Structure 1
Amino acid sequence: MSETAVPDGNKLVFELKNGKVVIELRPDLAPLAVERLKLLASEGFYDGVKFHRVIEGFMAQGGDPTGTGTSGSSYPDLKAEFTDKVKFERGTLGMARTMAPHSANSQFFIMFQDVPSLNGQYTIAGKVVEGMEYVDQIKRGTGSSGVVKDPDTIVKAYVEA
């Protein structure tokens, strides 16, 4: 693992071009995913990373350093932390993965609206508690793939108490 200390706070902040998004992390639901998000933010991993896949009425996905949706951090993939305690609703931050349940790494998505079909299928790591209007302004992709031309980026990411 890294020499970087994982911050104590449970608020992940994404500074976007239009404003600040604050996500209340949920270590009670997904301790491994929350630790990874905090570690990567503290290392500057998310600074400048693109929202490469954004689907109107669904979600905005980011967290891939290559901006293609095919990569992650140098850390090992995470064990799935699925829950039935909370639902995928507007503002939920989930961990993106491949078809393999234990493949989440650095990519995440933020929901634009409730999508019950995701419940219990993906790890929920937090929820937007401030700045959802800025998430709503993230540039949308085209077609069912949601690939974005000239995508918006995370200007800076950090953890606060």
Structure 2
Amino acid sequence: MSRIVLPVYTPRYKPNGSEVAVITTGKGVVTVQLDGANAPKTVGNFIELACKGFYDSLKFHAYKPNSVVLGGCPITRTLGPAQVEAASRGLIRGIHPGVGDARYTIEDEYAGKPNNKHVRGSLCFAHKSEPNSGSCQFYFSLSEQPEFDDAFTVFGMTVGGIDVVEALRVGDAIKGIEIMYADEDALAQAVAFETPKPGAVLESEGRSKAAV
């Protein structure tokens, strides 16, 4: 299957380090302290997407007990919970949750970061097998998993609603994400710009890779 080459995007919003994400899901509310100091591009990208409504109505599409719960794929937007669950098991022809993106990628930010730790409640960024291939998908780490610390960017920590995180399953909805304590003027300017457009065609496209 052919795919389009996605440009690498540098988010325009520069985190101030105080931003908090309030993620409303079908199971309840999760509050995450974002780590703009250690992962500014990942946090900036997440904030821009959240404020544009990108994550609204998406569903979590992968779950591995005591490991991760993964969401943020736009393919799930128009699917109901049962459809997401069936598609994630390969039962719906032509629908593959986990391959969607925001039509660009961002740079990885895990290398050389001693605070990049997968622990219970960490908010982490999913990517494909190639470097700098993350785009919009994220996951919560459900346990301490040091084997992933040098492979995926950790960009936040759950500070409220860890019980909700642990209750999330395939098909559960992201109703919306509110960003608190952002620089509102800077954020408004950042989201006013269009992101870069995809380019040339390559030969193959893979499913987004997370720690599952």
The TM-score range, normalised by the shorter chain, is: 0.7 to 0.9
Secondary structure, in 3 states, of the residue corresponding to 2:74? coil
Query: Could you say which residue in structure 2 is the equivalent of 1:155?
Result: 175
Secondary structure, in 3 states, of the residue corresponding to 2:23? strand
TM-score (norm 1): 0.85
- The runs of at least 4 consecutive aligned structure 1 residues that moved more than 3 Å come to 4-9
State the aligned residue count: 148
Query: Could you say which residue in structure 1 is the equivalent of 2:196?
Result: none
Secondary structure, in 3 states, of the residue corresponding to 1:109? strand
Contact 2:15 2:36 in 1 (8 A): no
Q: Deviations over 1:103-135 (max 9, x none)?
A: 011000101111110012111111111101001
Instruction: Supply the AA of the counterpart residue of 1:70.
Output: V
Q: Deviations over 1:20-68 (max 9, x none)?
A: 1011100111100000100011011111111001111101110111031
- Cα distance, 1:85 vs. partner? 2.4
Query: Could you say which residue in structure 1 is the equivalent of 2:154?
Result: 124
Instruction: Supply the AA of the counterpart residue of 1:15.
Output: T
Corresponding residue to 1:78 among 90, 94, 106: 106
TM-score (norm 2): 0.66
Rounded Cα–Cα distance in structure 2 between residues aligned with 1:5 and 1:56: 34
The answer to whether structure 1 residue 22 and structure 2 residue 31 are counterparts is yes
Query: Could you say which residue in structure 2 is the equivalent of 1:103?
Result: 133
Query: Could you say which residue in structure 2 is the equivalent of 1:144?
Result: none
Query: Could you say which residue in structure 2 is the equivalent of 1:46?
Result: 55
